[in-house]
């Protein structure tokens, strides 16, 4: 006899299931449509390009759970639950296809394979649910906040899975356990349940009665579960893959510009009507940013990796999204104003009722705590774009409300008046070149590389030594380079990250005009912030250049034999990944390759490194801005470096260098630890072409 089973065997009135299905899917569809209506209240944005690439990302990270699986045991447990749910859902659809379309395929060996597959994945799903329940309610990690809906969801999963296995066990007990035992073993969980009850004396007639009861119970609870998806965080089953599909494909470190901002600020009426000076209410966000709010799964990975949260600041990327989500569900539904004590309908009514999104929903301290390091986005399994959302609200504070920390205001004022953010410096942009014979681009227009020095590299004493070391390295490799000198201006990165988009655009346009006037094609810089801005954001203003970080160029020069480090460096070194070099631009390997090329150097990684590396605390304008809440991020990162036992912290960023020097000084470990840029370490390891001494010996002779 061919292995198979009757779909509605032992069930009377099974057709009623289709009424349940229509009702369930109808309510679910209505609930999902309500979400879409909210998103459409946002500003337009084109996210429909690169469809093939988007589909690939959705398959890998949405359906394939790529980012989720990075998280070790929790990621694996979630994958077991998710994959079990998906396989069981597909199995149910296959049953429906056979029953309703008359396409018979659930028989013979395929039926046995079908049975064992669903049993295994159902069991794996149950294991995943149990493990996640244990993690949430027994282990209780700090990143998870447990709510009633979490208990309801886990309860639904357990009841649906358990009742499904009971249905199967009762069916096998009535039709296969003794009649076709060779079929029953292909449903191991159901067969075990049937055997257990058979051993307790349950008869075939009783199995049939229990089968009918559990079948109807399972149907009702399953369709209730499917309906609940639209009214709970389970909606992320649908929204998360959609959000991943529409994730930004511009460069990671690129912020979207405010188009025609200059015209609006100059009084152009049409531009003033259209241009938003940042975001002050929900409708100012784009539709994709509103979709972000609904895609959040409340997993807490963003919060667990946020330097602001870890250092005791009020910013939690998770609760920025969730607080805005709550605000959206209340205000754009017409059921409240998001603060729990009003009856507003939309953003404008909130303002009339004295409710402000910035201030009442999201505090200014929260917004100014962000270092824009992208740890939140890097670790978010559903590709939420936290940084854009936070910076958009900062823009409103600065451009429209004129509200910012005093230290931020002072840096921006210096940037506007003096062309750089470093108040009090007596250096000029060419002071560092004294005695080094550094050519200007005007005198060397055929230079292969323009060396972009940056404000910090030219104007801050400690970082000037890094600039000089890099110049020596480039000369040693016979690289044809030149600088802009006094024609170089700030890239505008501090202004853009602190919210003064107008000042950024003004500086960017001036620099692009200067660079294009010299027909510059290749730029090398040792500042990751300049690197990111020149490479990823200047194309917005007509500046298309090949930009590389000095670690990339030095690694290339070593690889091609143009640099041959020979002096042994016999100390332990740990490398700190700068956020704007690593997470923003995926440059992780080359700095390490440079360090590993130095003879004798021993590399030790900090426990948080590469994509998981902790921010130094200087990004997002914090190099000039004081947020005196909690601990200083750089002190925590200095402790990470101390844990390695290294005597040298190597970095490739002038701001990281400043943060570590402050941390080392505060910890009182100047005798045990110091900070060097990788260019300094390379310069020390190179032989001096004049007298055969090493770079380090030559440096000591100068002293």
Q: Are residues 525 and 673 in the same domain?
A: yes
E-state strands within 497-598? 522-525, 546-549, 572-575
Q: Are residues 423 and 399 in the same domain?
A: no
pLDDT digits (tens, 9 = 90+) for 617-634: 999 999 999 878 999 999
Where among 209, 244, 279 does a domain terminate?
244
Neighbouring CB atoms inside 10 A of 673's CB total: 20
pLDDT reading at 692 higher than 60 = no
Q: Find tokens 């329940």 and name the residue.
A: 133
pLDDT digits (tens, 9 = 90+) for 38-68: 999 999 999 999 999 999 999 999 999 999 9
CA distance 293 to 285: 11
Q: What is the pLDDT of residue 696?
A: 44
Lowest mean per-residue pLDDT among 54-68, 325-339, 679-693:
325-339
pLDDT band at 611 (very low <50, low <70, confident <90, very high): very high
The CATH number assigned to the domain holding 302 equals 1.10.1060
CA distance 274 to 288: 19
Q: What is the pLDDT of residue 426?
A: 87
CA distance 614 to 603: 18
Per-chain mean pLDDT for the chain:
92
CA distance 476 to 688: 9
Q: Are residues 201 and 272 in the same domain?
A: no
Q: Find tokens 């200067």 and name the residue.
A: 514
pLDDT band at 269 (very low <50, low <70, confident <90, very high): confident
pLDDT reading at 691 higher than 60 = no
Q: Are residues 231 and 277 in the same domain?
A: no
- DSSP 8-class letter at 102: -
Q: Find tokens 């988007």 and name the residue.
A: 54
- DSSP state letters, 17-63: HHHHHHHHHHHHHHHHHHHHHHHTTSB-----S-HHHHHHHIIIIII
The CATH number assigned to the domain holding 221 equals 1.20.950
Q: Are residues 20 and 114 in the same domain?
A: yes
- DSSP state letters, 143-158: T----HHHHHHHHHHH
Q: Are residues 310 and 459 in the same domain?
A: no
Q: Find tokens 């009971």 and name the residue.
A: 166
pLDDT reading at 83 higher than 90 = yes
Residue 677 DSSP SS3: strand
pLDDT digits (tens, 9 = 90+) for 502-548: 999 999 999 999 999 999 999 999 999 999 999 999 999 999 999 99
* pTM recorded for the entire structure: 0.91
Residue 11 within a domain: no
Q: What is the pLDDT of residue 38?
A: 95
CA distance 377 to 381: 8
pLDDT band at 348 (very low <50, low <70, confident <90, very high): low
pLDDT reading at 349 higher than 60 = no
pLDDT reading at 72 higher than 50 = yes
Q: Are residues 230 and 352 in the same domain?
A: no
Domain count for the chain? 3
Residue 10 within a domain: no
Q: Residue ranges of the alpha helices (H) in 135-260?
A: 148-175, 181-184, 188-199, 204-228, 236-245
pLDDT band at 490 (very low <50, low <70, confident <90, very high): very high
CA distance 689 to 698: 10
Q: Are residues 303 and 428 in the same domain?
A: no
pLDDT band at 352 (very low <50, low <70, confident <90, very high): low
Q: Are residues 476 and 547 in the same domain?
A: yes
Q: What is the mean pLDDT of residues 257-276?
A: 87
Residue 524 DSSP SS3: strand
How close are the terminal C-alpha atoms of the chain, in Å? 95
pLDDT digits (tens, 9 = 90+) for 143-194: 899 999 999 999 999 999 999 999 999 999 999 999 999 999 999 999 999 9
- 90, 89, 385, 386: which is closest to 229 by C-alpha? 89
pLDDT digits (tens, 9 = 90+) for 443-467: 999 999 999 999 999 999 999 999 9
Neighbouring CB atoms inside 10 A of 417's CB total: 9
Q: What is the mean pLDDT of residues 487-495?
A: 97
pLDDT reading at 697 higher than 80 = no
Domain limits for position 302: 266-403
Token pair belonging to 527: 């500042």
Residue 8 within a domain: no
Residue 202 within a domain: yes
pLDDT reading at 703 higher than 90 = no
Q: What is the pLDDT of residue 353?
A: 62
Where among 373, 403, 433 does a domain terminate?
403
Q: What is the pLDDT of residue 551?
A: 98
CA distance 180 to 494: 74
pLDDT digits (tens, 9 = 90+) for 129-139: 999 999 999 99
Q: Are residues 436 and 372 in the same domain?
A: no
pLDDT digits (tens, 9 = 90+) for 382-412: 999 999 999 999 999 999 999 999 999 999 9
Residue 256 within a domain: no
Residue 332 within a domain: yes
CA distance 525 to 484: 12
Q: Are residues 535 and 426 in the same domain?
A: yes
pLDDT band at 693 (very low <50, low <70, confident <90, very high): very low
Q: Are residues 206 and 317 in the same domain?
A: no
Where among 338, 373, 403 does a domain terminate?
403
Q: What is the mean pLDDT of residues 247-272?
A: 90
pLDDT band at 344 (very low <50, low <70, confident <90, very high): very low
Residue 249 within a domain: no
Is the distance from CB of 6 to CB of 99 less than 8 angstroms? no
Q: What is the pLDDT of residue 695?
A: 44
Strands 602-603 and 481-482: unpaired
pLDDT digits (tens, 9 = 90+) for 225-237: 999 999 999 999 9
Token pair belonging to 56: 């690939």
pLDDT digits (tens, 9 = 90+) for 407-443: 999 999 999 999 999 988 889 999 999 999 999 999 9
Residue 604 within a domain: yes
Q: Give 547: exposed, middle or buried? Use CB within 10 Å, 0-12, 13-18, 19+.
A: buried
Token pair belonging to 482: 């030149």
Q: Sign of the CA dihedral 283, 285, 288, 290? A: negative
């Amino acid at each position: 006899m061919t292995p198979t089973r009757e779909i509605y065997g032992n069930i009377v009135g099974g057709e009623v299931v289709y009424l349940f299905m229509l009702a369930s899917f109808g309510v679910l569809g209505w609930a999902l449509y309500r979400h879409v209506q909210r998103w459409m209240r946002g500003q337009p944005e084109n996210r429909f390009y690169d469809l093939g690439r988007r589909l690939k990302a959705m398959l890998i990270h949405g359906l394939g759970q790529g980012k989720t699986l990075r998280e070790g045991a929790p990621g694996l447990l979630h994958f077991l639950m998710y994959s079990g749910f998906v396989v069981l859902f597909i199995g149910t659809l296959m049953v429906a296809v056979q029953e309703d379309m008359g396409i018979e395929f659930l028989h013979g060996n395929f039926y046995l394979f079908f049975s064992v597959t669903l049993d295994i994945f159902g069991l794996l799903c149950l294991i995943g649910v149990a493990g996640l329940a244990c993690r949430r309610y027994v282990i209780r990690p700090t990143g998870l906040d447990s709510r009633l809906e979490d208990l309801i969801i886990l309860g639904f999963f357990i009841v649906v899975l358990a009742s499904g296995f009971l249905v199967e066990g009762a069916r096998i007990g009535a039709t296969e356990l003794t009649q076709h035992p060779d079929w029953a073993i292909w449903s191991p969980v159901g067969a075990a349940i049937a055997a257990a009850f058979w051993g307790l004396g349950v008869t075939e007639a009783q199995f049939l009665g229990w089968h009918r009861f559990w079948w109807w119970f399972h149907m009702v609870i399953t369709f209730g579960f499917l309906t609940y998806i639209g009214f709970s965080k389970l909606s992320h089953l649908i929204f998360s893959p959609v959000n991943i599909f529409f994730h930004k494909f511009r460069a990671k470190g690129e912020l979207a510009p405010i188009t025609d901002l200059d015209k609006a600020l100059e009084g152009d009426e049409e531009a003033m009507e259209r241009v938003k000076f940042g975001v002050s209410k929900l409708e100012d966000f784009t539709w994709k940013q509103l979709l972000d709010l609904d895609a959040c799964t409340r997993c807490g990975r963003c919060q667990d990796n946020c330097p602001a949260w870890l250092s005791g600041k009020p910013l939690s990327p998770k609760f920025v999204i969730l607080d805005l989500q709550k605000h959206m569900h209340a205000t754009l539904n017409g059921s409240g104003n998001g603060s729990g004590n009003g009856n507003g309908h939309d953003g404008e009514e909130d303002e009339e009722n004295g409710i402000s999104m910035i201030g009442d929903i999201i505090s200014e301290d929260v917004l100014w705590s962000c270092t824009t390091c992208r740890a939140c986005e890097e670790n978010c399994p559903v590709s939420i774009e936290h940084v854009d959302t936070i910076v958009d609200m900062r823009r409103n504070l600065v451009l429209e409300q004129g509200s910012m920390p005093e230290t931020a205001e002072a840096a921006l004022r210096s940037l506007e008046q003096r062309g750089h953010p470093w108040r009090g410096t007596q250096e000029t942009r060419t002071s560092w070149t004294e005695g080094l014979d550094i050519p200007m681009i005007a005198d060397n227009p055929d230079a292969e590389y323009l060396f972009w020095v940056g404000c910090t590299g030219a104007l801050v004493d400690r970082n000037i030594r890094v600039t000089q070391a890099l110049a020596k390295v480039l000369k040693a490799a016979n690289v044809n380079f030149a600088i802009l000198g006094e024609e170089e201006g700030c890239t505008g990165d501090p202004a853009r990250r602190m919210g003064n988009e107008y000042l950024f655009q003004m500086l960017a346009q001036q620099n692009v005009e200067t660079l294009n006037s010299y027909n510059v094609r290749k730029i090398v810089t040792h500042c990751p912030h300049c690197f990111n801005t020149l490479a990823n954001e200047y194309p917005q203003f007509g500046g298309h250049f090949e930009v590389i970080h000095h670690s990339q160029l030095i690694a290339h020069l070593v690889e091609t034999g143009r640099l041959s480090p020979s002096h042994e460096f016999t100390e332990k070194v740990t490398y700190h990944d700068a956020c704007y070099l690593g997470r923003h631009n995926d440059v992780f390997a080359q700095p390490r390759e440079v360090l590993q090329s130095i003879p004798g150097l021993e590399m030790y990684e900090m426990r948080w490194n590469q994509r998981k590396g902790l921010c130094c605390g200087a990004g997002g304008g914090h190099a000039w801005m004081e947020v005196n809440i909690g601990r200083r991020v750089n002190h925590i990162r200095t402790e990470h470096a101390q844990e390695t036992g290294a005597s040298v912290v190597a970095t490739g960023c002038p701001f990281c260098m400043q943060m570590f020097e402050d941390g080392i000084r505060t910890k009182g470990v100047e005798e045990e630890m110091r900070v060097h840029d990788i260019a300094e370490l390379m310069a020390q390891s190179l032989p001096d072409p004049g007298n055969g001494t090493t770079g380090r010996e030559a440096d000591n002779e100068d002293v």
